[in-house]
Structure 1
Amino acid sequence: MPLRIRTLLAAAILLLPASFAVAQEEPEVDCNNAVAQMDLNICAHRDYAQADEELNAAYKKAMEATQKMDADYKDMGEQYVGAVDALKRAQRSWIGYRDGQCELAGFEARGGSMEPMLVSGCLADLTRKRTAELKSVYETED
């Protein structure tokens, strides 16, 4: 293969990831004034993404708290240890519940343009509720 063709192919391959990144960028949407269904779907997804970030931060803190619990209880005997495992099991179970419940919520508009908004709204709502539950693991009332 001539050098020129190899150079062009290499350049095309290098540009592919950049073109995919541009194609996947989310359009600019003013979520305070969204009216079109596509914009409402985008805004609902953004809301869920923000709630998910907060959940991940709360889970990390809850994990740290349960690790401390296990360390504190270890002196009392191995039968008192297990907070970390309980948190992991609870979170895995919650994820399954969340996904199924929000899929069900989407059936209100199954196949319609509103379905993604309903699913994202459900995901955001349940995620915020779970975040509050996780915070109760490491926050104490004064």
Structure 2
Amino acid sequence: MRLNLYLTGAAAGMIVAGAAQAQEPDCKNPKTQADMTFCEQSRYEAADTALNEQWKKTRAALAATDKDLDEKDRGAEKALLTAQRAWISYRDAQCEAYGFQARGGTMEPMLVAGCLANLSDERTKQLKELFDAVGQR
């Protein structure tokens, strides 16, 4: 997808720019657009890691729920997988659209990465809520 290629290109650019700098930027007070983009990309990577960790826990909990149900009532894990695939499509399209605020400019990768981070944080919370609800059974 174009979004992934764009983010990969932005990340590669940041690596090259990062090699030119002696240290990583202060993400509490970034000074340049490159620093801001680096910080948003780092924030997205952390959010994606947290999302993937919660995904594994939630999926395992729903798989366990399926095992406890009669065969005719199973489908929790499959429903979660379907929802997650739809959410990924939504996230990628939404953030690509969000980037059009600065299409072709140096801010675009920062906007996209920030959008990805925000939506990933929200999805992690949703998965945690589902995990907590299923775990209470």
TM exceeding 0.5:
yes
Are the equivalent residues in 2 in contact too, given 1:45–1:120 (CA < 8 A)?
A: yes
Aligned partner (choices 101, 104, 118) of residue 108 of structure 1: 101
Structure 2 unaligned residues grouped into runs of 5+: 1-13, 19-23
Structure 1 position 139, deviation (Å): 1.2
How far did residue 33 of structure 1 move?
2.0
Secondary structure at the counterpart of residue 139 of structure 1:
helix
**Structure 1 CA distance, aligned partners of 2:66 and 2:90?**
27
The answer to whether the 8 A contact 1:65-1:137 is kept is: no
Q: Say whether 1:41 aligns with 2:37.
A: yes
Larger radius of gyration: 1
Is 1:126 the counterpart of 2:122 in the alignment? Answer: no
Q: 1:44 to 1:24 in 2, by over 3 A?
A: closer
1:79: Cα distance to partner?
1.7
Matched residues in 2 for 1:34 and 1:67: separation? 43
Equivalent position SS for 2:29: coil
CA spacing shift, 1:117–1:71, aligned 2, 3 Å: same
Shift of 1:138: 1.3
Query: Between the two proteins, what is the percent identity of the paired residues?
Result: 46
Q: Give the superposed CA RMSD.
A: 1.9
Return the letter of the residue paired with 1:138: F
Question: Please, which of 66, 71, 87 is the counterpart of residue 67 of structure 2?
Answer: 71
Cα distance in 1, alignment partners of residues 115 and 92 from structure 2: 9
From the superposition, tell whether residues 62 and 26 of structure 1 become closer, same or farther in structure 2 (CA, over 3 Å): farther
The equivalences for 1:7-22 within 5 A come to none
1:22-41 alignment to 2 at 5 Å?
24=15, 27=18, 28-41=24-37
Q: Is the 8 A contact 1:62 1:135 kept in 2?
A: yes
- Paired with 2:113 and 2:39, the residues of 1 have a C-alpha distance of 9
Given residue 58 of structure 1, which amino acid in structure 2 is its aligned partner? Answer: Q
State the distance in 1 between where 2:48 and 2:79 align.
21
In 2, distance between residues paired with 1:114 and 1:33? 16
- TM-score after normalising by structure 1: 0.77
Are 2:125 and 1:135 equivalent residues in the alignment?
no
- In the TM superposition, structure 1's runs of 4+ consecutive aligned residues that sit over 4 Å from their partners are 23-26
